[in-house]
Chains A and B, each alone.
Chain A
Amino acid sequence: GQQLNQSPQSMFIQEGEDVSMNCTSSSIFNTWLWYKQDPGEGPVLLIALYKAGELTSNGRLTAQFGITRKDSFLNISASIPSDVGIYFCAGTTYSGAGSYQLTFGKGTKLSVIP
Chain B
Amino acid sequence: GEDVEQSLFLSVREGDSSVINCTYTDSSSTYLYWYKQEPGAGLQLLTYIFSNMDMKQDQRLTVLLNKKDKHLSLRIADTQTGDSAIYFCAERAPGGGADGLTFGKGTHLIIQP
Q: Do A and B bind each other?
A: no
